[in-house]
């Protein structure tokens, strides 16, 4: 599975995250996805020689502002600026690291834009992620793989009344902040699906397939 990682400068003019922090996130994500035999291959763009960070679009200076929770129909200035920076390969997940991510006025760890919630008619607005360096970069090991689960399952969280994900699921909303044994690490099928209903039974089959060809 290919990632195109773009690290933007923060308001202080420094890269939002270091290359080492990005590599830690990728390594942590690979630990999780190993259970589904998926391996991430990332191109990391830190803005050129010396890793200065990519120049921050002006509209990011007050944070990357989520255009509209759930469906993406009318890209705002932030989404349009993001689009300018993404590659033209429909089979890579573009991952933008910025200083902060704002969803309805609340600072978030990250936000992902799946194919099924892209109503713009422009495929380039499918399959991308924005990571907040303040809330997630380098220190929250399940954030990036959780967001990639959104992309691969092409879905939002599975909550009641339908079958839910168990508390140890990587796809569970609000992932745990460390890699403890009881943390949010698992990818379905889950051993306790009898308790949880049918959520996740086909997850590994589905994401393994989509890691080869992203939803489009």
Name the residue nearer to Zn ion (CB basis): 119 or 173: 173
Supply the minimum distance, in Å, between the C-beta of residue 177 and Zn ion. Answer: 14
- Residues with Cβ within 8 Å of 90's Cβ and at least 6 positions away in sequence, in order, are 123, 124, 126, 127, 214, 216
> Nearest-CB residue to Zn ion?
173
Supply the minimum distance, in Å, between the C-beta of residue 161 and Zn ion. Answer: 19
Per-residue tokens: 160? 């009641």
**Shortest CA distance to 29 belongs to which of 212, 211, 216?**
211
Total residues interacting with Zn ion, rule: CB under 5 A:
1
Name the residue nearer to Zn ion (CB basis): 45 or 184: 184
**What DSSP assignment string belongs to 137-159?**
TTT-TTHHHHHHHHHHHTS----
Ranges within 169-208 binding Zn ion (CB under 5 A): 173
Supply the minimum distance, in Å, between the C-beta of residue 202 and Zn ion. Answer: 19
Residues 170 and 149: their CA atoms lie apart, in Å, by: 8
CB 93 within 8 A of CB 214: yes
Name the residue nearer to Zn ion (CB basis): 40 or 54: 40
Ranges within 144-173 binding Zn ion (CB under 5 A): 173
Per-residue tokens: 91? 């089979």
3-state DSSP call for residue 21? Answer: helix
Name the residue nearer to Zn ion (CB basis): 13 or 173: 173
- Residues with Cβ within 8 Å of 108's Cβ and at least 6 positions away in sequence, in order, are 66, 101, 102, 132, 135
Name the residue nearer to Zn ion (CB basis): 81 or 108: 108
Edge-to-edge strand ranges of the sheet holding 101-103: 64-65, 101-103, 106-108
Supply the minimum distance, in Å, between the C-beta of residue 88 and Zn ion. Answer: 27
Name the residue nearer to Zn ion (CB basis): 69 or 173: 173
Supply the minimum distance, in Å, between the C-beta of residue 157 and Zn ion. Answer: 6
Supply the minimum distance, in Å, between the C-beta of residue 111 and Zn ion. Answer: 9
Name the site residues for Zn ion (rule: CB under 5 A). Answer: 173
């Amino acid at each position: 599975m290919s990632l195109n990682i773009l690290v933007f400068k923060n308001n202080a003019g420094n890269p939002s995250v270091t290359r080492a922090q990005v590599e830690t996130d990728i390594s942590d994500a690979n630990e999780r996805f190993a259970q589904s035999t998926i391996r991430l291959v990332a191109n990391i763009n830190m803005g050129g020689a010396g890793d200065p960070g990519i120049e921050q679009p002006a509209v990011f200076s007050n944070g990357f502002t989520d255009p509209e929770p759930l469906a993406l129909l009318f890209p705002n200035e932030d989404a349009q600026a993001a689009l300018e920076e993404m590659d033209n390969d429909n089979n890579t997940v573009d991952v933008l690291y910025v200083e902060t991510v704002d969803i309805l006025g609340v600072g978030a760890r990250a936000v992902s834009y799946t194919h099924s919630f892209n109503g713009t008619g422009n495929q380039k607005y499918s399959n991308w992620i924005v990571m907040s360096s303040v809330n997630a970069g380098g220190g929250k090991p399940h954030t990036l793989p959780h967001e990639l689960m959104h992309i691969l399952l092409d879905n939002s969280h599975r909550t009641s009344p339908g079958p839910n994900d168990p508390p140890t699921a990587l796809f569970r909303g609000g992932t745990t902040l460390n890699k403890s044994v009881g943390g949010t690490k698992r990818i379905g099928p889950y051993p306790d699906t009898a308790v949880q209903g049918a959520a996740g039974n086909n997850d590994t089959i589905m994401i393994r397939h989509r890691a080869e060809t992203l939803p489009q």
